[in-house]
Each structure stands twice: as structure tokens, then as C-alpha cells.
């Protein structure tokens, strides 16, 4: 079945450091891929998405490229800020096999220190 | 403001009691979902509804039931709460498979 695997957290970085959170997926169809962010005490918000191979999603300085050959969708940011501290979830949606339901990774907690 | 409203925000519930978590959306999305979020386990799908009048079981449906009488409302009921149902519950809706979910702000439930 479809699944998403994220690198384990927590990840602790200093402000202005480079961020990579790895995400790989298994899917039988042609999924869309998403990154969601959850700030402390809040619900999940869509951060970025990519709907086909080689697409790059970007938002708020974050980027992720849909790599079909490596089944990956790694999240990157060149210079993190304290305000980026949150839990990040990678997810996929396979309309042909799951009717659009999202399957989530387990989440990666990011803590950015000043 | 378009979005999803969940109620209550938090609740402490005695074991064995019945509880309904409410979820209402005003975006006219067809598909709606209930997830629970537990530390170290991420989000797990409880039940879903692809359209009004239909529901389906997710990954962890036991102890929960849902109904979808209309497009806007998707309540989640715990018939007889148990401590293992202590969790944060999120309702979500979907406009289309390429758009991702819109989430509510969650209900923090503690069963004692």
C-alpha cells in the first residue's frame, strides 16, 4: 500500500542554518505530494505541494522537488528562523487508489535556536 | 471566513461516557475526514466521507462512529469513551486530490 516515511526528529538548528527534512514515499499510482506545518497548539496548514514529477513546490522560503526516480520529496530551506520552529508533515494523495485521502508521515519536529 | 470549525476546543471526559465532536465546514467540499494525532504516531485516519450520505472506515475506526447527513457537517461520536482515546482530533475537508486538505484547529480530548 501507499506510505510515507520521514526522517526522525527532533531536529535542532541554529538560526540561519540550512534545513533539510527527508521524505520518501511508496505509491502504486501517481500521487500528489504535500508538506504541512503545525505550529505549537495549532492545526495543520498546507505549506507547499507538487502534483507531478519534477514539479517544485515553494512557499515562505521552503522548497521541495517531486523526484519520481528516487520517490522523494525532501523539504529544504536555506536559512531558518526561530519562527520556523514547528512540526512538519510530509503527505501523499493518490486519487487513483485512495480517492484523494492523504497519507501522512509521522512528522518531524524542528526547533530553531537564536 | 471560509474554513472548518471544530467544537469543543478541549474536553475532559469520564470513561464510559458518550461524546460527539462536532465539525462544520462552509466551503462546500465533498470529502471530509477525521484524524487523531498522537505523539510519535503522526496522524491516523479514523473515518472519512467522500460525499454526503456516505462514510467509510479509516485506519483506526474502532470505538468511533460518524454520520454525514449533509455536506457541511461531519460529527464524530465516541459511544463509550476509553482512556486510549485520549488524543487530539482533527477534522479536515478536501476540495480535490491535487489541492490538499483544509484542517480544523482540533479538539483536545482527555478521557479519565
Average pLDDT over chain B reads: 93
Burial A75-114 (b: 16+ CB within 10 A, else e): bebeebeeebbbbbbbbbbbeeebebbbbbbbbbebebee
Quote the pLDDT of residue A6: 93
For the stretch B68-81, pLDDT in tens is: 999 999 999 999 99
Burial B14-31 (b: 16+ CB within 10 A, else e): eeeeebebebbbeeebbb
Does B98 reach chain A within 8 Å, measured CB to CB?
Answer: yes
- Nearest-CB residue to A101 (from B33, B42, B105): B33
CA distance B66 to B78: 9
CA distance A15 to B67: 46
Is the peptide bond between A10 and the residue preceding it cis, with omega within 30 degrees of 0? yes
- Cα dihedral B86/B33/B42/B57 (nearest 10): 80
Average pLDDT over chain A reads: 92
For the stretch A61-112, pLDDT in tens is: 999 999 999 999 999 999 999 999 999 999 998 766 555 688 899 999 999 9
Contact: B97, A95; criterion CB under 8 Å: yes
Mean pLDDT of B83-96: 93
Chain B hits for A36, CB-CB cut-off 8 Å, are 100, 103
Quote the pLDDT of residue A97: 56
Helix (H) or strand (E) holding B8: none
- Nearest-CB residue to B90 (from A44, A51, A100): A44
Quote the pLDDT of residue A96: 62
pLDDT score of A26 more than 60: yes
pLDDT band at B100 (very low <50, low <70, confident <90, very high): confident
Amino acid at each position: 500500500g501507499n506510505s510515507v516515511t520521514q526522517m526522525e526528529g527532533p531536529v535542532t538548528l541554529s538560526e540561519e542554518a540550512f534545513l533539510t527534512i527527508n521524505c520518501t514515499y511508496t505509491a502504486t499510482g501517481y500521487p500528489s505530494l504535500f508538506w504541512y506545518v503545525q505550529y505549537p497548539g495549532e492545526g495543520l496548514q498546507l505549506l507547499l505541494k507538487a502534483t507531478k514529477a519534477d514539479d517544485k513546490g515553494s512557499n515562505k522560503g521552503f522548497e521541495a522537488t517531486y523526484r519520481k526516480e528516487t520517490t522523494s520529496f525532501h523539504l529544504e530551506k536555506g536559512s531558518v528562523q526561530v519562527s520556523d520552529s514547528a512540526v512538519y508533515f510530509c503527505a501523499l494523495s493518490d486519487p487513483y487508489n485512495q480517492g484523494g485521502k492523504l497519507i501522512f508521515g509521522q512528522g518531524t519536529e524542528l526547533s530553531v535556536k537564536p | 471566513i471560509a474554513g472548518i470549525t471544530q467544537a469543543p476546543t478541549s474536553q475532559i471526559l469520564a470513561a464510559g461516557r458518550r461524546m460527539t465532536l462536532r465539525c462544520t465546514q462552509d466551503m462546500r467540499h465533498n470529502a471530509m475526514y477525521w484524524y487523531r494525532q498522537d505523539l510519535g504516531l503522526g496522524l491516523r485516519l479514523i473515518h472519512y466521507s467522500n460525499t454526503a450520505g456516505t462514510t467509510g472506515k479509516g485506519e483506526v475506526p474502532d470505538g468511533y462512529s460518524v454520520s454525514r447527513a449533509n455536506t457541511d457537517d461531519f460529527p464524530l461520536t465516541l459511544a463509550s469513551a476509553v482512556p486510549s482515546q485520549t488524543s487530539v482530533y482533527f477534522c479536515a475537508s478536501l476540495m480535490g486530490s491535487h489541492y490538499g486538505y483544509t484542517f480544523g484547529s482540533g479538539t483536545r480530548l482527555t478521557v479519565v
